Structure 1
Amino acid sequence: MIIVQTKWLGRAQRIQAIAQAGLAFSKDVYDRERYEELMKLSVEMMADYSQTEMEVITDLWKGEKGYPTPKADVRGAVFRENQVLLVREKHDELWSLPGGFCEIGLSPAENVIKEIKEESGYDTEPSRLLAVLDSHKHPHPPQPYHFYKIFIECSILDGQGEIGIETNHAAFFPEDRLPPLSLKRNTPSQLGMVFDFMRHPERATIFD
């Protein structure tokens, strides 16, 4: 069932992307009407398979203009004594590597430094790119957006564990005692991947 849902999710996102691009570049009034209809169909499909209200999806996509591209999500892998730093999100009480959407005007490295500081209180320095993953190729729950997920290893420079605006706890965990994870943000296999990088510093960057 998950595979079927993922296929439909990808199709809905692709229809939305075609409609968004058409509305961005087409001047013909009849073509624009067809693209508007495609946009409505994509919202209906997304609502059916992501268990999200149509109004929420409409609001999310309303601000998307121009040629559509995947969104970039950056995650910081911070290790201490063979344990990885995780933060707990306030809205669902689930855990993830610190990170979030990349912001305009900041590089991926600058974004991950900012996210780790805001969500955990630690000042860090990026040391290497671990992976760039396509969210469609991993078992994340259905979501309205298509993501490229960027994993960057970082070293602690200063600071201590603190809560942030969106988080209520930050702590280090060993691989065999991970807390309940926020699967929208990171999966168990992705956590296994970052621990494997910790054990094998010579491992090459992963991309898919």
Structure 2
Amino acid sequence: MNDDSVDLLPLLDELRVMAQAGLFFADDPYDRERYERILELVGEYYGMTLDVPPEEIHDRLAQDLGYVTPNVGVKAAIFDDEGRMLLMQRPEGSEYVAGTWDIPGGAVEPLEPPAETAIRETREETGLAVETIEVVDAYMMEPNRLNPHGHVLLLYLCEMAGGTLGLSHEGDALDYWEIEDVPAWTLDFRGPALDARDRWSEQQRDGREGDD
């Protein structure tokens, strides 16, 4: 795709959402036939745009059942005693930009409580056992190639409960960072990271006042 070409993926994604939502709600057989045809066309043009066989695209679309909604991901905000945040550097060959820094976390698995996602993903990516303290906030992230329908991020403030810090195959490095010094974020996580640090600071103040 050269600089003068049109990126068809946003259009195809929107047509796919409309067609699948229509199939979910439609009772009229003619309406269902029209929505099915839209999905067929979307599959064909997905295949041409992404260089994937149309049959494979059709199978992938068929697996996405029900009303299409944004994906849900969870991140675990973990701080050291100095208020620095634990981040993982993404490696070459990952679906993200290599060398960028990411908050530990990942996608919520089917039927998995989001708090358990934070605990599981942290263990897998960092070797640490954590406990979730509270949800900092929920954030609507911009659509991208991995999450074409948008991405809802739940950010949990966590505290360490054991384990040993160790790098997984999903990262090139693990390090604690002052948020203002992070050179490049994997996604637009700077704002959520600052919110998490503010909540962590409140927790620290409340703890000190409780000891007085």
CA distance in 2, matches of 1:14, 1:166: 31
**1:53 and 2:53 aligned:** no
Q: Deviations over 1:112-143 (max 9, x none)?
A: 0000000111100000110111224xxx6564
**CA 86–46 in structure 1, closer or farther in 2 if over 3 Å, else same:** farther
Higher mean C-alpha deviation, range 30-39 or range 112-121? 30-39
Give the structure 1 partner of residue 121 of structure 2. 115
CA distance in 2, matches of 1:23, 1:151: 33
SS of alignment partner, residue 181 of structure 1: coil
SS of alignment partner, residue 171 of structure 1: strand
Higher mean C-alpha deviation, range 22-31 or range 60-69? 22-31
SS of alignment partner, residue 153 of structure 1: strand
Q: CA RMSD in A?
A: 3.3
Query: Quick check: which one's strand share is greater?
Result: 1
The percentage of counterpart residues that share the same residue type is 26
Give the structure 2 partner of residue 125 of structure 1. 131
**1:157 and 2:161 aligned:** yes
Q: Which amino acid aligns with 1:193?
A: D
CA distance in 1, matches of 2:124, 2:183: 21
- Whether the 8 Å CA contact 1:46–1:144 is kept in 2: the answer is no
Q: Which amino acid aligns with 1:34?
A: R
Give the structure 1 partner of residue 180 of structure 2. 176
Structure 1 residue 31 displacement after superposition: 2.2
Q: How does 1:75-86 map to 2 (within 5 A)?
A: 75-80=75-80, 81-86=82-87
Q: Which ranges in structure 2 are unaligned for 5 or more consecutive residues?
A: 1-8, 205-212
SS of alignment partner, residue 79 of structure 2: strand
Q: Deviations over 1:63-84 (max 9, x none)?
A: 2112222221101100112100
SS of alignment partner, residue 167 of structure 1: coil
**CA 41–110 in structure 1, closer or farther in 2 if over 3 Å, else same:** same
**CA 69–163 in structure 1, closer or farther in 2 if over 3 Å, else same:** same
Larger Rg: 2
**CA 75–44 in structure 1, closer or farther in 2 if over 3 Å, else same:** farther
Higher mean C-alpha deviation, range 110-119 or range 142-151? 142-151
CA distance in 2, matches of 1:200, 1:141: 33
SS of alignment partner, residue 85 of structure 1: strand
TM-score if structure 2 supplies the norm length?
0.72
Q: Which ranges in structure 1 are unaligned for 5 or more consecutive residues?
A: 1-7, 203-208
